[in-house]
Amino acid sequence: MSQTSLNNNSHSSSQSPAPPTTANTNGSGLQPPKTGLVPTNNVSTIDGVTVRARIDPTLTVADVVKQLCVNLKTKGPASEYALRDESDELVTNDNLRKKIKTKANLKLVNAPAREGRDIAEKLSVRDTATLRLTLFSLQKFIREHEFAQEFIGRGGVAELVDVIYNSHGNTLAYALTAMQNLMELDYGWASLDNDFIFRVVQILSSTQSLINVCRPATAILKKLVEADPANAPGPQASSSTSAPIIPLGSVYRYGFSVVFEQMRKEKSLLETVISRLGSADTAMCQYSIMLINSLLAHANDLRWEEFVSEAERLNVRRAIMRLMSSHTMMEDLNSCILDFQANMLRVTHRKKTTLVDSQNDLKHAAILNQIWAESKLEEERLESGEILKWRKLGFETEVIDAEFAEVGILGLECFKSFVQRDPDFAKIVLEQLSRPAERRCPIGKCSNEIVEILSDHWAIFAPGYSTSTTFQPFFLDFNKVHGLATTFFIRMWGESGAASDDFTRVAALVRSQVKVALRSENVRSWLEVEHDFLECEYRAVRDRQMKELEQEDDLLSKVPVRNLRAKIYKESYEFVRQQRIRCLLQGAWFVNAVPHISYSSRDSIRRPERPWRFMRLDNGLKFLYYVDSNLKFPVRNGLEDLPDRIEVAAISEIATGTGMPPPGVLRDYSDVPPASPVAPSPLSFSLISAHEGSLADQIAPDASRWADWTDGLNMLRRDGGHVSSKETASFVQALTEIGLKIKLLDLSGEMVEIPSGLTAGPPPTNTDFFFSDLS
């Protein structure tokens, strides 16, 4: 028999002390209590009575509640009641032992289902004071399954939406936060329609909205963007050939296209969101970056160009660059900024692979017309009847769309930016035209070559994740760097006395200077970059390049080899990505960290109750399961030994360098890396939720495990991802270089000459031909 003893300690009730009672265990599977004194918990009731209870940990929560209700003679059945701790965390069979052991103060309260029913009914009351109190409770409880089921079933979502439509100020903030928390569930909010989305857009667009209103509104919009049918769980999400089937009642029915249609109605929205990147409120800034990242990561083909063009026009890159230089916010925003950087790499790659089509795209034609107008030249018709126009600007042919075939609209936009930035562009063109034809610098061709050189430098090989582990502010100002490098190319052409056959030689010279000028990008200033491009003399650059050539192979700079490198880079990245995810599936032990005070100033610092935690990703890649322990123990395969879990979708950021080891761990366990008692461990990381703060604070046992988990988790996220560790980045680069050299051995070993480029012959005069099968 198991015993739960109650003693009444309240001064507000005349009830006599409750006698000890007994109850049989119901096979809950919990271990029997250890011999000795059972811990005592204070339990308060709805009526203000406080009792001291010795609770048998072998009982289920239902049995404990039943005994309390019997002894306290509460009204109604025991199923209408539940236990919570002082922070309103629901006591469950999983955490009951911990609450008993720590002598937590408990409260006998309404059961979640009963609370959900009551709050759904109270939302219809429009008294401001009552409504605020109801919403405050709602935002705390809505994540609980039983509460949510009852709340949704009683029409609570419709009432909550009505409150959002008809309230303002703090009441609106509470209502939006409750909706934000509801949307953490994968059910219950599929009824949100376009009118609701537009209401959220209007709230965000208003510069008068309070910060505590804008934060949850931004998070709601981000969640709607990510609730794309393609992200729905199940086999339909993997189909790339047809639109996924949306099950009835699924919340995965929104996505970028649905949200962006409402955003287009409120022209000021994107501008307002970008302006909030400069907010003094770090959380508001973080929410805004995450919304922009989600929009960039999920933009569909139909509206991609429109959205990206508008964001570029509003100088979103400039806003992020300002954050990069802000030392006060960098710690909290580091991961979000790197996500943005990775998203912009995708944008740049997509522009580079989107062909220029001046015949069918009015925007492309307008840019070309603008470039030609800035040159202040006139078309010529030669005696042969041939038009002489684009060749005057340094292109090789008059088929201007084909001239941008390798660099796409990225090359077109860069050339346009170069033309507009340099007020002397027309003079430069005239100067080149005044020279003999073989001595002219082909400005258009060298502009495209600079795009290729910069693409190689920043590894714009594929639309995958960026392997950069540091900020790249110069990459975010791609057009400006392109302009400086193009000006440098033209200057080197003149100072070296180059002729038409020297284009490759000058390009190699510029490639060398780009590496020097853009080195240590995260710590250098623009003034230093400008000096390297504008002030360096030809002879100094040439001497340095000659020394580099002694150590390098000119073969690696040829276009076919660069294309081969890009292909191998994709394969290498995917290989490392799969390896990292396999490490997560295998699981690992970590130290539970004490959050560093400078990082956790916005939240209360949580001291870990047990020093060790084992974490493992489930096979569905949806949850991180874990168990906390005082000692390491052999964890079986599967998830049976791991009772707790964290939803991967709830992780908005993987922050690094955020925690310190708990006292005593370093003394007792030699495999944990040492750290200063006041500084965070370099092997620590935190799983951050956008609105809950840290979900977990861990310290890895070594650098390899730290790289596996920080990068593996980043690669799982829906709104983009980036590489956190130099180890992962170096693995990708090393595999790329090894694979490239192995491929080249087949050619260089046979002394096969690799051309710098291939020229297509004239098209066939008729269709009377066929392609031969090559054996």
Confidence at residue 261, expressed as pLDDT on a 0 to 100 scale? 94
Confidence at residue 2, expressed as pLDDT on a 0 to 100 scale? 41
At residue 606 the predicted structure's pLDDT band, cuts being 50, 70 and 90, is low
User: Comparing C-alpha atoms, which of 283, 138, 267 is closest to residue 689?
Assistant: 283
Least confident of 64-78, 229-243, 261-275: 229-243
pLDDT digits 0-9 by tens, 145-159:
999 999 999 999 999
The larger pLDDT score, comparing residue 544 to residue 551, is at 544
User: Comparing C-alpha atoms, which of 267, 167, 173 is closest to residue 218?
Assistant: 173
Q: Domains in the chain and their CATH numbers?
A: 2-110 (3.10.20.90), 120-232+251-330 (1.25.10.10), 362-552 (no CATH), 571-728 (2.30.29.30)
Average pLDDT, whole number, for the chain? 83
pLDDT digits 0-9 by tens, 402-459:
999 999 999 999 999 999 999 999 999 999 999 999 999 999 999 999 999 999 999 8
Confidence at residue 357, expressed as pLDDT on a 0 to 100 scale? 94
Confidence at residue 577, expressed as pLDDT on a 0 to 100 scale? 83
The larger pLDDT score, comparing residue 718 to residue 580, is at 580
**Can you give the C-alpha Rg of the chain in angstroms?**
32
DSSP strand pairing (653-656 vs 693-699): unpaired
Which token pair is 498?
């180059």
Whole-prediction pTM: 0.75
At residue 719 the predicted structure's pLDDT band, cuts being 50, 70 and 90, is low
Which token pair is 602?
């916005």
Confidence at residue 364, expressed as pLDDT on a 0 to 100 scale? 95
Q: Are 175 and 167 in contact (CB under 8 A)?
A: yes
Residue 334 has pLDDT above 50, yes or no: yes
Residue 720 has pLDDT above 70, yes or no: no
The DSSP line for 289-352 is HHHHHHHHHH--TTTHHHHHHHHHHTTHHHHHHHHHT-TTTHHHHHHHHHHHHHHHHHHHHHHH
The larger pLDDT score, comparing residue 364 to residue 209, is at 364
Confidence at residue 282, expressed as pLDDT on a 0 to 100 scale? 86
Q: Are 189 and 700 in contact (CB under 8 A)?
A: no
At residue 329 the predicted structure's pLDDT band, cuts being 50, 70 and 90, is low
Residue 328 has pLDDT above 60, yes or no: no
CA distance 708 to 731: 12
Q: What is the mean pLDDT of residues 261-281?
A: 92
Q: Are 735 and 747 in contact (CB under 8 A)?
A: no
Residue 654 has pLDDT above 90, yes or no: no
Q: What is the mean pLDDT of residues 675-695?
A: 75
User: Comparing C-alpha atoms, which of 37, 71, 77 is closest to residue 57?
Assistant: 37
Q: What is the mean pLDDT of residues 284-288?
A: 91
At residue 32 the predicted structure's pLDDT band, cuts being 50, 70 and 90, is very low
Residue 599 has pLDDT above 50, yes or no: no
Q: What is the mean pLDDT of residues 380-404?
A: 91
Confidence at residue 693, expressed as pLDDT on a 0 to 100 scale? 75
High-pLDDT (> 70) share of the chain, %: 83
User: Comparing C-alpha atoms, which of 590, 571, 593, 592 is closest to residue 671?
Assistant: 590
Q: What is the mean pLDDT of residues 210-237?
A: 85
**Residue 628, φ and ψ in degrees, nearest 5:** -100, 145
Least confident of 272-286, 505-519, 656-670: 656-670
User: Comparing C-alpha atoms, which of 505, 467, 477 is closest to residue 421?
Assistant: 477
The larger pLDDT score, comparing residue 749 to residue 279, is at 279
pLDDT digits 0-9 by tens, 744-767:
776 544 445 555 555 566 667 777
CB-based contacts of 83, cutoff 8 Å, min separation 6: 43, 61, 64, 65, 68, 90, 91, 106, 107, 108, 109
